[in-house]
């Protein structure tokens, strides 16, 4: 009898717990589901907290009410909470095969929920910030060419799930001539059912992401345009800080921190808030550490936006009218590339500013190679687009680009007169001004003594990077006069620099190596004596000489002896 009684108690308790779970689950689902209203994101009268007051994560809501152990009862889908997806070993061949379709792990992406949960990755200071109740509305524009269904729709779901409904005007998809069936009628039907107006425009002919974005922007109804790539995931509170920066100053272009979604496992990996955008001599966009100067300007408060010299290009908010006022995009650019730097230079030089808003985080699937076709060839397209920047915006600094990329000169780049006119009409400042005031840490030296070959008087050979990377030895071969790997600049800061690498020696003797230029002198400081033609390494007080017998093709430092092996001729020395 007693045992029966005991059983009854257990059954009754389990039933209660079960019911509680169901109720809580319904509550949770309602708050994040696509059909819910904006209740979950209510702003406050005196302002709003980004992401609203309710934490959308299951733990956030539930932890307050029930013991932690019971949380495991919520069914977790692969990848939930930003975790890595584990593809069962039986599917590894399929995983390898399908990777090629989009250059990311499609099997993993397809295993995940379109509503996968993500933790709140924001800095503590961001969680409590108050944002204006009245914010401009935004149209989100996403262009794609043959994007995977699951990544594209996860992007869309994450926007809807994590944006205050009253701020989200619409989501505009621009299908740039994809040839996958599911991205046509099936997509139209799917997005038509979403609780936020979402629709796709389509181009018959492949236009490239630049003209595709222009098409999307044209029909946008929101006050602000927000561009995203087609494989992103917005995290809680991502939108409010972006719109706030635009509201504060309509000439601010606001970028989130771009976190990494692993192309292999779809794990959500947070990026650093101490990184900003720069570029190298080839005009490739590059991430570099935020310099002390900018950290100091922000008073050490990491939740303050960082002023960045350039932006990655894919993820940003800009006031719609300002977008057009400042010259939208260069329509002459094809397929992919360079529009991000073009826009960055233009914004800064013509009176605007670019912020990385560190309280806003959006994940992006970074891939190692691009999955789609490049009509006309990758090099031709990138050279074409980049030359359009160089010719319009770089002034006297274009020598750096052309000397290190001598082959580019033969690429046609079309007519840039309209863009040059735009620059004139907007009365934009010079590139030198940009380097002096916005990007003094740039890999393009503001002032320099020489640009070209560095030739040894004894052997007649030139120093050459041999295409090696940071940390590797420098080479020396016959002078080919074709620029590229033999172009070095002897800068006003007394560095011997090629692209973003500098000649560096960390010992009192031995081979010269290439290292990322730090602009701080130290092991990268060289004194050139025009009379003796010696290149003296300041720190070690040694001279650079032709390769020793052991170091066959690497110049090294040793005691200065006045020999011709230690004499160097710098091309075009001023």
Q: Considering CB distances under 5 to 8 angstroms, the limit depending on partner class, which of Mn ion, ligand LR7, none binds residue 316? A: none
* Distance, CA of 350 to CA of 427 (rounded, Å): 7
**HSE-CB of 175 using CA atoms within 13 angstroms:** 21
Long-range contacts of 274-278 (CB under 8 A, 24+ apart): 274/302, 276/306, 276/308, 276/309, 276/356, 277/308, 277/309, 277/310, 277/311, 277/312, 277/344, 277/354, 277/356, 278/309, 278/310, 278/439, 278/441, 278/442, 278/443
Given the DSSP bridges, would you call strands 130-131 and 48-49 parallel, antiparallel or unpaired? antiparallel
* Distance, CA of 445 to CA of 179 (rounded, Å): 45
Using CB under 6 A as the binding rule, whether residue 229 contacts ligand LR7 is answered as: yes
Structure tokens at 244: 């706030």
Using CB under 6 A as the binding rule, whether residue 364 contacts ligand LR7 is answered as: yes
Output the smallest distance, CB 86 to ligand LR7, in A: 25
Output the smallest distance, CB 212 to ligand LR7, in A: 5
Structural element, H or E, at residue 170:
strand 168-176
Q: Considering CB distances under 5 to 8 angstroms, the limit depending on partner class, which of Mn ion, ligand LR7, none binds residue 145? A: ligand LR7
Taking the least distance from each CB to ligand LR7, the nearer of 239 and 496 is 239
Hey, is 539 helix, strand or coil? coil
- Sole binder of ligand LR7 in the list 216, 314, 327, 511 (CB under 6 A): 314
Using CB under 5 A as the binding rule, whether residue 263 contacts Mn ion is answered as: no
Site for Mn ion in 228-247 (CB under 5 A): 229
Taking the least distance from each CB to ligand LR7, the nearer of 140 and 487 is 140
Burial of 162 (0-12, 13-18, 19+ CB in 10 A): buried
Using CB under 6 A as the binding rule, whether residue 230 contacts ligand LR7 is answered as: yes
Q: Considering CB distances under 5 to 8 angstroms, the limit depending on partner class, which of Mn ion, ligand LR7, none binds residue 336? A: ligand LR7
Q: Considering CB distances under 5 to 8 angstroms, the limit depending on partner class, which of ligand LR7, Mn ion, none binds residue 353? A: none
Stretch that binds Mn ion, among 44-52, 203-211, 222-230, 305-313 (CB under 5 A): 222-230
Using CB under 6 A as the binding rule, whether residue 336 contacts ligand LR7 is answered as: yes
Using CB under 6 A as the binding rule, whether residue 208 contacts ligand LR7 is answered as: yes
- Sole binder of ligand LR7 in the list 335, 390, 479, 496 (CB under 6 A): 335
Angle, alpha carbons 10-14-20 (nearest 5°): 150
- Sole binder of ligand LR7 in the list 78, 313, 363, 558 (CB under 6 A): 313
Given the DSSP bridges, would you call strands 224-228 and 353-365 parallel, antiparallel or unpaired? unpaired
CA nearest neighbour of 517 among 533, 537, 498, 543: 498
- Sole binder of ligand LR7 in the list 308, 340, 491, 556 (CB under 6 A): 340
Using CB under 6 A as the binding rule, whether residue 328 contacts ligand LR7 is answered as: no
Q: Considering CB distances under 5 to 8 angstroms, the limit depending on partner class, which of Mn ion, ligand LR7, none binds residue 176? A: ligand LR7
* Distance, CA of 559 to CA of 540 (rounded, Å): 9
Output the smallest distance, CB 229 to Mn ion, in A: 4
State the residues that interact with ligand LR7 by CB under 6 A: 143-145, 147, 176, 206, 208-209, 212, 229-230, 258, 312-315, 335-337, 339-340, 364, 370
State the residues that interact with Mn ion by CB under 5 A: 229
């Amino acid at each position: 009898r007693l045992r029966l009684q005991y059983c009854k108690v257990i059954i009754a308790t389990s039933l209660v717990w079960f019911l509680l779970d169901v109720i809580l689950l319904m509550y949770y689902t309602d708050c994040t589901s696509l059909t819910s209203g904006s209740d979950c994101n209510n702003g406050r009268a005196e302002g709003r907290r980004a992401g609203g007051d309710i934490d959308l994560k299951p733990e956030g809501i539930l932890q307050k009410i029930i013991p932690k152990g019971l949380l495991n009862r919520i069914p977790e889908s692969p990848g939930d909470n930003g975790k890595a997806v584990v593809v069962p070993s039986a599917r590894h061949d399929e995983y390898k095969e399908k990777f090629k379709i989009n250059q990311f792990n499609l099997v993993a992406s397809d295993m995940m929920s379109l509503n996968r949960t993500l933790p709140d990755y924001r800095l503590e200071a961001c969680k409590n910030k108050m944002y204006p109740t009245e914010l401009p509305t935004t149209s989100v524009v996403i262009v794609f060419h043959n994007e995977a269904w699951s990544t594209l729709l996860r992007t869309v779901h994450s926007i809807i799930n994590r944006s205050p409904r009253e701020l989200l005007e619409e989501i505009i998809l621009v299908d740039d001539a994809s040839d996958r069936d599911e991205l046509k009628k099936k997509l139209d039907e799917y997005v038509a059912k979403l609780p936020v107006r979402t629709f796709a425009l389509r181009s018959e002919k492949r236009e490239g992401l630049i003209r595709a974005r222009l098409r999307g922007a044209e029909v946008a109804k929101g006050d602000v345009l927000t561009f995203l790539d087609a494989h992103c995931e917005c995290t809680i509170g991502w939108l409010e800080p972006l719109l706030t920066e635009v509201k504060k100053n309509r000439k601010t272009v606001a970028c989130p921190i771009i976190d990494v979604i692993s192309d292999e496992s779809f794990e959500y990996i947070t990026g650093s808030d101490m990184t900003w955008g720069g570029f190298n001599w080839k005009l490739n966009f590059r991430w570099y550490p935020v310099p002390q100067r900018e950290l100091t300007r922000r008073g050490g408060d990491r939740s303050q936006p960082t002023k960045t010299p350039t932006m990655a290009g894919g993820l940003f908010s800009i006031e719609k009218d300002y977008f057009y006022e400042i010259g939208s995009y260069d329509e002459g650019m094809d397929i992919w590339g360079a529009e991000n730097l073009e826009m960055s230079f233009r914004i800064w030089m013509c009176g605007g500013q670019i912020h990385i808003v560190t309280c806003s985080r959006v994940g992006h699937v970074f891939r190692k190679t691009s999955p789609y076709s490049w009509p006309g060839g990758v090099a031709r397209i990138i050279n074409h687009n980049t030359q359009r920047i160089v010719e319009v915006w770089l002034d006297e600094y274009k020598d750096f680009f052309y000397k290190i990329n001598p082959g580019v000169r033969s690429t046609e780049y079309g007519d840039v007169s309209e863009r040059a006119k735009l620059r004139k009409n907007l009365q934009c400042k010079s590139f030198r001004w940009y380097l002096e005031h916005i990007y003094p840490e740039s890999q393009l030296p503001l002032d320099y003594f020489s640009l070209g070959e560095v030739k040894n008087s004894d052997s007649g050979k030139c120093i050459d990077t041999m295409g090696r990377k940071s940390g590797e030895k420098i080479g020396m071969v016959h002078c080919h006069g074709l620029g590229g790997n033999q172009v070095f600049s002897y800068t006003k800061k007394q560095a011997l620099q090629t692209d973003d690498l500098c000649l560096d020696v960390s010992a009192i003797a031995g081979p010269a190596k290439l290292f990322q230029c730090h602009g701080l002198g130290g092991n990268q400081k060289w004194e050139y004596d025009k009379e003796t033609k010696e290149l003296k390494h300041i720190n070690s007080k040694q001279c650079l000489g032709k390769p020793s017998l052991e170091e066959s093709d690497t110049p090294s430092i040793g005691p200065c002896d006045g020999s011709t092996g230690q004499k160097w001729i710098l091309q075009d020395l001023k």
